[in-house]
């Protein structure tokens, strides 16, 4: 079962190799990336945002294995945010700035991470989260220096819609989506976590992720 913890300065070394090296969101891709160490730059970004704004990520792991991480911050702290055709992000929203899922991670890792992001933002009084989606695997030549490619750094539009986001700015390949954080939405997320803990304590098999997921609570 995925264990989720906040990404603070003491947890940077728990990031998986994919999350640690990807600097797609930390560069603007407009002026030519200067030579440098992606891992150092990613850690520097995490440190800067954490000190200026607070927790900016969630880490999923299973034992000692990192399964993935989700990053989020005010859009002004995310250089790539201004580069999309559907910018800017709403003034009252925090930007989902990448979900890096490690190779071999279980299928429920993205949902678990998104639930943890929304729960954290609700507790901090944030009203909404926005994200740029991708509708095709052909995203052109936009690459991060680790060569992961934009398609690995942007959540699929379908995934975001399935988890309660709605499109607020249409675009053929990169729409902008929004999730208003509601009390009912997060109440269901809290229930899911309580059930997960109960199942683990009783030794039962893990529930199917997403059944009561806070990130899917707006369906129907």
Q: Is residue 215 part of a domain?
A: no
Planar angle of CA 220, 97, 92, nearest 5 degrees: 65
Residue 67: the pLDDT is 94
Q: Is residue 188 part of a domain?
A: yes
Q: Is residue 55 part of a domain?
A: yes
Residue 10: the pLDDT is 87
**How many domains would you assign to the chain?**
1
3-state SS, residue 214: helix
pTM of the model: 0.79
Q: What is the pLDDT along the chain (220 residues), one digit of tens a residue?
A: 679 999 988 899 999 999 998 888 988 866 555 557 889 999 999 999 999 999 999 999 998 899 999 999 999 999 999 989 999 999 999 999 999 999 888 888 999 999 999 999 999 999 999 999 988 755 554 545 555 655 568 899 999 999 999 999 999 989 999 999 975 555 555 556 656 666 666 666 544 444 333 444 333 3
Residue 152: the pLDDT is 64
CATH number of the domain within which 169 lies = 3.40.630.30
Q: Is residue 144 part of a domain?
A: yes
| Per-residue DSSP letter, 68 | E
74 phi, psi to nearest 5 deg: -60, 140
Q: Is residue 126 part of a domain?
A: yes
As a whole number of angstroms, the distance between CA 134 and CA 153 comes to 10
Q: Is residue 218 part of a domain?
A: no
Crossing angle of helices 109-123 and 183-202, in 10° steps, is 130
Q: Is residue 208 part of a domain?
A: no
Domain that holds residue 133: 2-201
DSSP letters, 79-135, are GGGGGSTTPPPPTTEEEEEEEEEPTT--TTHHHHHHHHHHHHHHHTT--EEEEE-B-
Q: Is residue 39 part of a domain?
A: yes
């Amino acid at each position: 079962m995925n264990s989720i913890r906040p990404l603070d300065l003491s947890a940077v070394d728990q990031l998986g190799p994919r999350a640690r090296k990807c600097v797609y969101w930390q560069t603007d891709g407009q002026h030519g990336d200067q030579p440098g160490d992606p891992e150092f730059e990613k850690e520097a970004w995490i440190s800067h945002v954490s000190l200026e704004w607070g927790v900016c990520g969630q880490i999923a792991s299973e034992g000692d294995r990192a399964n993935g991480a989700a990053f989020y911050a005010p859009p002004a702290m995310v250089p790539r945010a201004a580069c999309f055709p559907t910018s800017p992000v709403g003034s009252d929203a925090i930007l989902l700035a990448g979900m890096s899922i490690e190779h071999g991670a279980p299928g429920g890792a993205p949902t678990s991470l998104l639930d943890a992001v929304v729960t954290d933002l609700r507790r901090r009084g944030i009203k909404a989260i926005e994200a740029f989606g991708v509708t095709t695997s052909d995203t052109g030549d936009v690459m991060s220096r680790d060569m992961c490619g934009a398609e690995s750094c942007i959540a699929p539009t379908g995934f975001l819609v399935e988890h309660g986001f709605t499109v607020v700015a249409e675009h053929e390949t990169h729409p902008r989506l929004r999730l208003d954080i509601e009390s009912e939405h997060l109440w269901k997320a809290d229930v899911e976590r309580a059930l997960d803990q109960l199942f683990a304590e009783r030794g039962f098999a893990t529930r199917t992720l997403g059944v009561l997921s806070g990130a899917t609570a707006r369906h129907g």
